[in-house]
Amino acid sequence: MANIPIDDDLHKDILRFQREELTGAKLYAALGATVKDKKNAKVLSDMAVAEEGHYRFWKKLSGVDVAPDRFKILLLRIFAKVLGLTFALKLLEKGEENASEGYAKVAHIIPEAVQIGQDEESHEEALIAMIDEERLAYVGSIVLGLNDALVELTGTLAGLTFALQRGSIVAISGIITGIAAAFSMAASDYLASKADGDPRAKKSAIYTGVAYLVTVVLLVLPYLLLPQSGGWIYLSLAITLLIAIGIIAGFNYYLAVAKDQNFKAKFLEMAGISLGVAAFSFVVGLIVRTIFGVDI
């Protein structure tokens, strides 16, 4: 390595690689020290050791110390706490895919770089696959709660908006419908899971019900916060539909990162179903108002 010609551009690349590896090592070590599951802690410790080894390789070439990206470490630790360990690790892994591409670019000068990139990718994929995280086991229940709430509530609120045209009544109707549907959905999920002999039936039902209730609150919120006279109620509906799209986008991005799913396909499918039902219900509300002469 002592005979490798290092110009300014290559030196900058080496320092960047070195910092990324050190950042990964510090993050894995910090997460490993905070997780309660011993198996997960061991996996994170192994990942930290691997990153530390890569850091030392680049340090021998640069000849200088670098500081880790402390902001990135803080941000990913927050993501790990709020959105889960797997999500944070997959985000970091995606960033390191770019680093592997950078390694390939300097391979003609530093042949070891290619092997480091390949080892890192295969090693980290294997280790992340070993992470056992509870919330990922209940993704199906969360999807069930979110999807049903989005489809049912966007449709209900759209129909009631045109049929009743009174924000307070639409909001109250939406809340009552949403709460009743959330408990019904949770109960159905519990009974179905229990019938299948699933020992996690209670937790599965809780995840389904909570996901449903949170979605209900977010969708009804515009009707509670905005004035509901004149055309404001239609603005409330528009904001509700935007919130629904935001929820769909956010959750599908989470799945795309944490479970390597296709974001675009899943997003378009969920958004198409929810907005399609909302549009149909909006038309039904118009027909009901016209036929029955509803005027509140």
Query: Are 115 and 238 in a shared domain?
Result: no
Tell whether 80 and 162 lie within a shared domain. no
DSSP string spanning 182-225? Answer: HHHHHHHHHHHHHHTT-TTHHHHHHHHHHHHHHHHHHHHHHHHH
100, 133, 166 - which closes a domain:
133
* % of the chain residues with pLDDT over 90: 5
Is 234 inside any structural domain? yes
Do both 211 and 258 map to the same domain? yes
Q: Does 21 reside within a domain?
A: yes
Model confidence pLDDT, tens digit, residues 89-126: 788 777 665 555 666 666 667 767 666 766 666 666 66
Q: Where are the alpha helices (DSSP H) in the chain?
A: 8-34, 38-62, 70-83, 85-105, 112-130, 134-137, 139-164, 167-195, 201-225, 232-258, 263-292
Q: Tell me, yes or no, whether 282 and 196 share the same domain.
A: yes
Any domain includes 84: yes
- The confidence score (pLDDT) of residue 69 equals 92
Are 273 and 155 members of one domain? yes
Q: Is the pTM of this model over 0.85?
A: no
DSSP 235-256: HHHHHHHHHHHHHHHHHHHHHH
Q: How confident is the model at residue 230 (pLDDT cuts 50, 70, 90)?
A: low
| Burial per residue of 266-288, b for 16 or more beta-carbon CB atoms within 10 angstroms, e otherwise | bbeebbeebbebbeebbeebeeb
Helix (H, G, I), strand (E, B) or coil at 156: helix
Is the residue at 1 inside a domain?
no
Indicate the residue among 82, 114, 133 that finishes a domain: 133
CATH of the domain at 89: 1.20.1260
Query: Do 119 and 174 belong together in one domain?
Result: no
Same domain, 161 and 209: yes
Boundary of a domain, candidates 133, 163, 193 = 133
pLDDT band at 129 (very low <50, low <70, confident <90, very high): low
Q: Are residues 109 and 196 in the same domain?
A: no
- pLDDT score of 134 more than 70: no
| Residue 36: domain span | 8-133
Report the number of distinct structural domains present in the chain.
2
Tell me: do 121 and 144 sit in the same domain: no
